[in-house]
Amino acid sequence: MIWWDLLNGINKLHELSIYHRDLKLQNILYVPNKCAKIIDFGMATLMSDSSESFVGSPLFMSPQVIFNEKYSYKCDIWSLGIIFYCMICRVSPYGDTSNIKVIQ
Positions annotated as catalytic residues are: 22
What whole-number distance in Å separates Cα of residue 53 and Cα of residue 4? Answer: 29
What whole-number distance in Å separates Cα of residue 8 and Cα of residue 94? Answer: 27
Give every CB contact of residue 38 below 8 A, 6+ residues apart in sequence. Answer: 6, 9, 10, 13, 20, 23, 27, 28, 29
